[in-house]
Amino acid sequence: MESKISIFLPTYNLCNLLVLVFFCFAACPSLGRLSFNFYATSCPAAELMVSNTVRAASSNDPTIPGKLLRLLFHDCFVEGCDASVLLQGNGTERSDPANTSLGGSSVIDSAKRVLEIFCPGTVSCADIIALAARDAVAIQAGGPAFQIPTGRKDGRISNSVNVRPNIVDTSFTMDEMIKLFNSKGLSLDDLVTLSGAHTIGLAHCSAFSDRLVDTSLDITYAKELSKKCPAGGSSTSNTVSNDPETSFAFDNQYYGNLLAHKGLFQSDSVLLEDGRTRKQVEEFANNEERFFRSWGESFLKLTTIEVKTDNEGEIRQSCSFTN
């Protein structure tokens, strides 16, 4: 199997590393504003501190990796990757109903407290979110490991009105998802790849209640969901695993589930039904290495959406409030 970049020590051979870096600069417009090993001088152990925090939290709660991935998506798709989703207060992104169930912020806060002790005013909350999501997938869930650039600044603006127009609703059609992803500089390939995040994590019954009566869903799977989600799936407290087969492993099982008509959300099932994406679903279902390689590329693009650098942002002392 092709070697992968580890979190702290690159294990790609030189050719593969050069290809990855070239891809990044070609596909991530904001990457030139960030850099690999950004904290090498100012806080050499920054990534290790984040990694250790994620490892400790995930060991106590195996749902943490899925929560951190979802937190990253909701941050980067609204105002860019600037930790605006963490700001508290009336009318902030965090106050929108779509974000009230977000988890993982306590892990970010824990990492920030440690970093402020050893490297005060140095590491942004935005970088911590990106690093934590990457590490949660690689360390705890068994997914691919790779380097990502850092140097993001924290945003000062967070408005709840910006949330709904900028995040994927589980009932979205393919065209609606393509339009949203394209607006973030993400391609159709990125859409299929990043949807693979649903190979881990949990979903509230109310988020897929429409699927319980969807005849395209595997009958046995639909019955299992109905048992876990009584009252027509209207419960906002009951949850089920996004991936019924390997719930806490970051693998390619999600795509196998789609082929078996066990996609939990409507936005999952359309990936199989639409001719524009079915081939990639089939390829990922049959080739985990291909999915992992694509995940690394798409994750890099995701984490560089509309990043803020220099005077465009700040390094918050607390992730919940601006300075």
| 113 domain residue, yes or no | yes
d(CA 7, CA 36): 11
| 7 domain residue, yes or no | no
| 319 domain residue, yes or no | no
Outline where the chain has alpha helix (H): 14-27, 46-60, 64-76, 105-118, 125-135, 174-183, 188-194, 219-228, 253-259, 266-273, 278-286, 288-302
Question: 198 among the known binding-site residues?
Answer: yes
What pLDDT shows up at residue 30?
57
| 22 domain residue, yes or no | no
Tell me how far the alpha carbon of residue 181 is from its chain's centroid: 14
Per-position pLDDT tens, the chain of length 323: 333 333 333 333 444 444 455 555 555 555 657 999 999 999 999 999 999 999 999 999 999 999 999 999 999 999 999 999 999 999 999 999 999 999 999 999 999 999 999 999 999 999 999 999 999 999 878 999 999 999 999 999 999 999 999 999 988 999 999 999 999 999 999 999 999 999 999 998 988 888 888 889 999 999 999 999 886 555 567 899 999 999 999 999 999 999 999 999 999 999 999 999 999 999 999 999 999 999 999 999 999 999 999 999 999 999 999 99
Q: What positions carry a catalytic annotation?
A: 74
What pLDDT shows up at residue 234?
55
| 309 domain residue, yes or no | no
pTM of whole model > 0.85?
Answer: yes
Question: 78 among the known binding-site residues?
Answer: yes
d(CA 78, CA 98): 12
Question: 173 among the known binding-site residues?
Answer: no
What's the number of domains the chain is made of? Answer: 1
Question: The domain that contains 247 carries what CATH number?
Answer: 1.10.420.10
Question: 84 among the known binding-site residues?
Answer: yes
Question: 154 among the known binding-site residues?
Answer: no
| 128 domain residue, yes or no | yes
Buried b (16+ CB within 10 A) or exposed e, 161-172: ebbeebbbeeeb
Question: 215 among the known binding-site residues?
Answer: no
| 36 domain residue, yes or no | no
Question: 199 among the known binding-site residues?
Answer: yes
- 143: domain range? 45-303
| 6 domain residue, yes or no | no
